[in-house]
Amino acid sequence: MPSLQPAQRPPSRPAIQPPSTPPARAPLAPRAPVKPSEQPPAKSSAELVKDQFRARFRRQLLLIAIMFPAVLVAKLDSRDTSSPSEIAGLAVFFVGFVLTLINWRCPQCNRYLYRRIYPSACPRCGVTFHD
């Protein structure tokens, strides 16, 4: 019969010590007082209207640049009554038309600017958009 030996223990591990505390930091130098930044003078309402009109005009040009090819694709592929490209072109045109109705408005009175390409003033309130 084999002899039984007592169970051997694994070698003992060193005790886990808590991490050492970080070294003390040197006190920070006092900060210089923060001066309020000088802001440019506020724009007049006429300048704000002109800036908003420029932004709306750029968006309108982008809409036209997207809608024009969509109409061409829909028109060129009109042999079939409901081809996928015609449906997609008409959908893009419809979305562009709705966005035009939302975008192409006077920044001052929010009235539609009609079919004018680059109006110099609003036909309703008379505010000027550019010099």
pLDDT tens, residue by residue, 17-71: 666 666 667 676 677 666 666 656 667 888 898 999 999 999 999 999 998 888 8
The pLDDT, as a whole number, for residue 9 is 66
Q: Does residue 89 form part of some domain?
A: yes
Q: Does residue 33 form part of some domain?
A: no
The pLDDT, as a whole number, for residue 123 is 86
What is the number of structural domains in the chain? 1
Q: Does residue 71 form part of some domain?
A: yes
CA distance 48 to 119: 17
Domain that holds residue 52: 43-131
Instruction: Give the three-state DSSP class for 100.
Output: helix
The pLDDT, as a whole number, for residue 60 is 92
The pLDDT, as a whole number, for residue 55 is 93
Tokens encoding 9: 């223990």
pLDDT tens, residue by residue, 71-101: 887 777 666 567 787 888 888 889 999 999 9
